[in-house]
Amino acid sequence: MAKAKWMVAAAALFSLACGAASAETKIGYLPSTVGQALTQAWKTGIENTLKGQPNVSFQALDAQMKAEIQVTMMDDFINQGYNAIILQPIDAAALTASVKKAEGKGIPVITLNTDTKLPHAACVTMDDQGAGYLVGEQIGKALGGKGNVAIIQSPPGAQAGVEREKGFRAAMAKLYPEIKIVGAQNGLWNKDKAIEIMNSFLQVNKQLDAVFAVNDNMAEGAMIAAEAAGRLNQVKIWGFNGQKSTLTLIEQGKITGTAYTNAYDQGATAAKYALDLLSGAKKKGDKTDVVVVPPFAATKDSVAQIKPEQRW
Amino acid sequence: MSVSAIRRLILTGLLIAIGIALSIANPTFLKLDNLMTMLQEASLTGIVAIGFTLILITAGIDMSIGAVIAITSMICVNFISYTQLPAYIYIPVALAAGCAIGWVNGFFITHFKLPEFIVTLATRGILAGLALIIAVKDEQGFVKNVFIEDPVFLSFGETVGPVYIVTIVFILLAIATQFFMKRTRAGTNIYASGANPTAARLSGINVDRTLIGVYMFSGFCAALSSIFLAARMMTAMPEFGIGNELDVIASVVIGGTPFTGGIGDIWGTIIGTLFIALIKNGILKLGLSPYIQPIVIGGIIIVTVVADVWYKHHAEKKATQAARRKAMESKEVGA
Amino acid sequence: MSNNVKSDLLLECRGIDKNYNGPQVLSKVDFSLRRGEIHALVGENGAGKSTLIKIVTGITNRNAGTIVFDGHDVPVEHNKNASEKLGIAVIYQELSLIHGMTVAQNIFLTKEPLMPGLPFIDIKKMNAMAQEMIEKYGFDLKATDIIDRLPIAQRQTVEILKALSNKASLMIMDEPTSSLTAKESERLFKIIRMLKAEGITVVYISHRMEEVYDLSDRVTVLRDGKLVSVLEGEEITPAEIIRLMIGRELTEDESHHKMVDKRDREVVLEVKNLSAEGKLNNVSFKLHKGEVLGFGGLVGSGRTELMRAIYGIDAFDAGEITYLGKSYSPTVEKSIASGFGFVPEERRLQGIMGGISITGNIGIANLDSISSPAGFVSRDKELERTQTAISTLNIKPANPDHLVGNLSGGNQQKVVVGKWLIRDLKLLIVDEPTVGVDIGAKEEMYQTIDRLSREGVAVMVVSSDLPELTRLSDRIIVLRKGRIIKEFTEGVVTEEEVLRAASGIVEGGAK
């Protein structure tokens, strides 16, 4: 009996759902996690762009750094009939199937920083490898081509982090072969873990001249550890991204530098791209349209060039 | 009425009620696509939960299921990346590996009389580490999550009509397992070994062999789920499955298989699995914070278990009171 | 031995020896069973009954002797499965039944009928077969009943059906009536006689003499691991069986342990009409200062339950307790604070914490007296008190840090007593004081109890060890089925008298 009733109710609601297809445009934002300055800045950038648009709604979900969860959430965006998705894939391979599925249903996907394996609408990315190379150059120059450096890495398989590290190592190998890379460990993108790793670097290496953390959070962690060990002035710490707090620390001289990207701008670019695709102003091509946001080496001397409204 | 019958009735009622509430709150809930992807997710958990149900029926626990998922997917991508072997060869190998891990668990538990929790927690750690070690790496030694392109392998992630293959496999496996448990001697032996191992031994059941078999089946189920997960995501990751044990345990326990052994069945697990999947989907559909998901699931576990214990205690108290009264009366006569 | 002519003996054991790497448990025991007889096996606790049964059923192996079952020699390397194949079945209380399964599933476990040509259980057929057996014996059961919901007596009949389905020719029942009501016992006896009529041999082990007297064709009496006698027909009388079980003449020492009437002294505890459903029935007695009051009775007669009720562990339904002239409703905390001490029966489970030191064990019961007002434990005081207990009770080794789990049984017992000793002890309850304790430690325990009673402590002792009970007590109360059935107050009481009372063979008692 109960079942029969349920079926009737289900059928009724189903027809209701189909009938009430809204004219509203829904855009979903799905970063690896919402708990970071970078993903927050992107969100702000996207929201500011969409704010002026009539009939556009916006929804962000937190994938909590787990690829399986992100795939589930992608499915949910697709099933709920979103019109476009802005995605920061946790893993390039793991999200490819989801992106393919969305595009197959006519939903354009714009990826941020991490590209996926199959073609989709666009990828708005920082130049990870190029920026990593830039950091390498800066550190090498400052050390005079000699010394010990360590790397705080991203989780295995996180393409963006890996690219940054690759660029950095390439600069070292090519320009400063005498600089030794004495350690490299996975900081899981997070500050606490980075403190732990930096502590071990400091204990093992009596002489440590510089550390490259592949994001700012981890650079801040490294700074905390070095400061606690009383060796902050002996170690040059470089981060990546250029979030507001890190820029302030650079001004204070606690962190040496970071590869700054205007994340507001990047988020806005992605949102604009989505709107253009939906309005027909842009056409989707056969290949992923890669939009590169150029990096900028922010140090104590150059940080003033980043205006307050550009800081995130 | 029996505890399990009441529970099943209540859960089914709740399933329907939540379903109706969700479809009112968010009409996209009832879209065929949504229901099917929800079932796909439920099936991935559900296949593991079938094996885990048998484990709980023997009064054991298997903490290694998540790690088995990880290592199995790593075995597959190794075959894909480094060999030309076809899927119909390496998939059976990967499933066999799941069984082998189950055998190791069962062997240590029965042969050395070690606690199930400790043994499987140890294998969990070892397998999780091994998964990272055997993960495919790029030239510089970074873990590279291989993008799987083998069409035979990927077909595991496809649908038949609107229904995902994993859902069909889940249903078939559930029916077969239920039938096995209720209608074969081996199944009966599993119940007996869990309810009262001493009695089972006295009745001539080889309890150790039964337990080893159950752990092998659990390993097999986890490995099977891993293949479908990897096919769905078109890649394999060394952290696959790890941390998903809560969903599996919750599905089984909510389904009415208690930790005490000897009781439980697959039907309950199916309902429990659907229940968890519905809750997870519902949280997304209602736009609630995904962080409350583990809280809700944990809460449901506590509520169902407390309700069980309360009901059982209540029933037992009534029974013993009646028995005592009866005993006293006849003692009066006998004395 | 094995020839074609079937002897009228189903089982013949000769010269069975058994020792568990130490004391001889059985020596040169002969035991034979005729086909289709009901044969009782009796003896005091520790006489070797269970060991003999374990050897016959293959749970343990003999050191020497021969066993012939149904014309076949049974090898020394006997085992449970082999004995089952021979047709030997043991009816356990409920040990071998699987909860959650139906009667039919239990009866046919591991030998379920299958569908022809398939590996699948034919449930319909299985239920029908079980129902047929049930009806044949007229049991009050349904094949589809779930075991958990059956009372003990009915579970036992399921056990019997299970044995019958195994085509057992010998059924061994170990204390089958210990948890049955009188009515249920009667029905079991009917079943046993039915089995006999079918030609099945039944070995019946019981402490209840009237049952043995009623049922048995023959009785084998064991004492201290030796065969004493095999009684048959007219020779079987309860009094004779008890005489043979106890056997030994009273020693000088024992016969001189007279009871001492201390009933003129101050009353410490008075129990009036104490009743607890299914456990205790109208129990009343008085306990006096410095008196050792012994409680005899069979296992399950309500002795332990009475002690637990007085100490406040279990609730009771009716009756009152007066302690030192004031009405007293016991709880454990109150009892401890009022100067009660309790040394429980299951020492390992209830009396000690094995992984903790002697100091820790003694401190835990005395936290009130060794803590500062703020609640911090004074380690010095704790140690001081432990040292006192160690020296007064002669606990060995005399090391306060020694883990109690590593002490010998006797010393563990002393620690439990020591917990209470160092308090202002007024009333000590001791349940089975010397189970699992060696002889030397036994005597020390007796002396401790004697000394405490001289110091004015009122003591209640529960013991199934009859020499111990008569040795310790100033007065003995015998319980049976939750009631006081007999009280011995003066003169010399013999073990035989106590056992007769406990078995219900008593002037004015039951039956």
Q: Which pLDDT band, with edges at 50, 70 and 90, does B129 fall under?
A: very high
Kindly state which CATH superfamily the domain A25-126+263-293 is placed in. Answer: Response regulator (3.40.50.2300)
Helices (H), C230-319: 238-246, 252-255, 303-311
Q: Nearest chain A residue to B34 by CA: give it.
A: A79
Given an 8 Å threshold on Cβ–Cβ distance, is C183 in contact with B335? no
pLDDT of residue A19: 40
Asked if C51 and C60 touch (Cβ cutoff 8 Å), the reply is yes
Q: Nearest chain B residue to C126 by CA: give it.
A: B183
User: Which of A17, A92, A162 is closest, CB to CB, to B28?
Assistant: A17
Given an 8 Å threshold on Cβ–Cβ distance, is C81 in contact with B183? no
Select the residue from B35, B233, B281 to test the A interface by mutation, using most A Cβ atoms within 10 A. Answer: B233
pLDDT of residue B244: 86
pLDDT of residue C85: 82
Residues in B closer than 8 angstroms to C92, CB to CB, are 202
Window 146-175 of A: residues touching B by CB (8 A cutoff) are 156-157, 162, 166, 169
Domain ranges of chain C: 9-246, 251-339+425-511, 354-423
Q: Is A283 within 8 Å of chain B by CB? A: no
C488: nearest Cα among C506, C503, C511: C506
Given an 8 Å threshold on Cβ–Cβ distance, is B33 in contact with A79? yes
Cα-Cα-Cα-Cα dihedral sign, residues A100, A105, A106, A107: negative
Q: Which two tokens stand for residue C254?
A: 């024992």
Given an 8 Å threshold on Cβ–Cβ distance, is B330 in contact with C97? no
What is the C-alpha radius of gyration for chain C, rounded to an integer number of angstroms?
26
Given an 8 Å threshold on Cβ–Cβ distance, is A2 in contact with B290? no
Residues in C closer than 8 angstroms to B189, CB to CB, are 110
ipTM reported for the complex, 2 dp: 0.82
Q: For chain C, what is the total number of helices (H) and then of strands (E)?
A: 18, 20
Q: Is A10 within 8 Å of chain B by CB? A: yes
Closest CA of chain A from B333, distance in Å: 52
Regarding predicted confidence, which is higher, C228 or C349?
Answer: C228
User: Which of C98, C181, C184 is closest, CB to CB, to B262?
Assistant: C98
Encode chain A (312 residues) as per-residue pLDDT tens digits: 445 555 555 544 444 444 444 568 999 999 998 878 889 999 999 999 999 888 899 999 999 888 889 999 999 999 999 999 999 998 888 899 999 999 999 999 999 988 888 899 999 998 889 999 999 999 999 999 999 999 999 887 677 888 899 999 999 999 999 999 999 999 988 899 999 999 999 999 999 999 999 999 999 999 999 999 999 999 999 999 888 899 999 999 999 999 998 889 899 999 999 999 999 888 888 899 999 988 888 998 888 888 888 887
Between CA B125 and CA C58 the distance in angstroms is 43
Q: Nearest chain C residue to B334 by CA: give it.
A: C182
Q: Which residues of C342-355 are buried (b: 16+ CB within 10 A; e: fewer)?
A: bbbbebeeebbeee
* Neighbouring C-alpha atoms within 13 Å toward the C-beta of A85: 30
pLDDT of residue C19: 85
Residues in B closer than 8 angstroms to A157, CB to CB, are 142-145, 237
Regarding predicted confidence, which is higher, C471 or C373?
Answer: C471
Regarding predicted confidence, which is higher, A128 or B7?
Answer: A128
Closest CA of chain A from B192, distance in Å: 35
φ, ψ at B63 (rounded to 5°) = -85, -5
CATH 2.40.40.20 fits C251-339+425-511, yes or no: no
Of A55-59, B331-335, C287-291, the poorest mean pLDDT is in: B331-335
Residue written as token pair 């709920």:
A80
DSSP single-letter state for residue B30: G
Given an 8 Å threshold on Cβ–Cβ distance, is B140 in contact with A79? no
The answer on pLDDT for C138 being more than 90 is no
* Cross-strand pairs, C419: none
Residues in C closer than 8 angstroms to B58, CB to CB, are none
DSSP result, A240-278: EE--HHHHHHHHTTSS-EEEE--HHHHHHHHHHHHHHHH
Tens of pLDDT, residue by residue over B201-253, are: 878 889 999 999 999 999 999 999 999 999 999 999 888 888 888 899 999 99
Domain ranges of chain A: 25-126+263-293, 128-261+298-310
> What distances in angstroms separate CA C158 from CA B183, C95, C177, C379, one per listed residue?
21, 12, 15, 57
Given an 8 Å threshold on Cβ–Cβ distance, is B147 in contact with A93? yes
Given an 8 Å threshold on Cβ–Cβ distance, is B233 in contact with A68? yes
Q: Of all residues in chain C, what percent carry a pLDDT higher than 70?
A: 91
CA angle (C132, C138, C143) in 5-degree steps: 45
Q: Nearest chain A residue to B42 by CA: give it.
A: A72
Closest CA of chain B from A292, distance in Å: 23
Residues in B closer than 8 angstroms to A117, CB to CB, are 147, 234
The answer on pLDDT for C1 being more than 50 is no
Contacts across the B-C interface (CB distance below 8 Å): 98
CB neighbourhood size of B187 (10 A): 20
pLDDT of residue C11: 93
Across chain B, mean pLDDT equals 89
- Assigned CATH for C9-246: 3.40.50.300
Q: Nearest chain B residue to C485 by CA: give it.
A: B335
B150: nearest Cα among B93, B238, B86, B74: B86
pLDDT of residue A9: 52
Select the residue from B244, B284, B291, B297 to test the A interface by mutation, using most A Cβ atoms within 10 A. Answer: B284
The answer on pLDDT for C4 being more than 60 is no
Query: What does the pLDDT average to over B252-271?
Result: 90
Closest CA of chain B from C80, distance in Å: 8
Residues in C closer than 8 angstroms to B328, CB to CB, are 277-278, 281
The answer on pLDDT for C83 being more than 90 is no
Between CA C460 and CA C476 the distance in angstroms is 10
Q: Is A12 within 8 Å of chain B by CB? A: no
CATH of the domain at B262: 1.10.3470
Tens of pLDDT, residue by residue over B153-202, are: 999 999 999 999 999 999 999 999 999 999 999 999 999 999 989 888 87
CB neighbourhood size of C82 (10 A): 14
Select the residue from C53, C99, C161 to test the B interface by mutation, using most B Cβ atoms within 10 A. Answer: C99
- Kind and range of the H or E element at B164? strand B163-164
pLDDT of residue A21: 44
Given an 8 Å threshold on Cβ–Cβ distance, is A64 in contact with B290? yes
Chains A and C touching, counted as 3 or more CB pairs less than 8 Å apart:
no
As for how many domains chain B has, the answer is: 1
pLDDT of residue B3: 67
Q: Do domains C9-246 and C251-339+425-511 have the same CATH topology?
A: yes
Domain A128-261+298-310 is of which CATH architecture? 3-Layer(aba) Sandwich (3.40)
Tens of pLDDT, residue by residue over C217-234, are: 999 999 888 999 999 988
For residue B229, the enclosing domain spans: 3-334
Q: Which two tokens stand for residue B70?
A: 């990880």
Given an 8 Å threshold on Cβ–Cβ distance, is C181 in contact with B203? no
Instruction: Burial-class residue B164 by CB neighbours within 10 Å (0-12, 13-18, 19+).
Output: buried
Q: Nearest chain C residue to B200 by CA: give it.
A: C96
Q: Do domains A25-126+263-293 and A128-261+298-310 have the same CATH topology?
A: yes
SS3 B193: helix
Given an 8 Å threshold on Cβ–Cβ distance, is A157 in contact with B285? no
Given an 8 Å threshold on Cβ–Cβ distance, is B324 in contact with C277? yes
User: Which of C97, C119, C480 is closest, CB to CB, to B184?
Assistant: C119
pLDDT of residue C460: 95
Neighbours of chain C (3+ CB pairs under 8 A): B
φ, ψ at C134 (rounded to 5°) = -60, -45
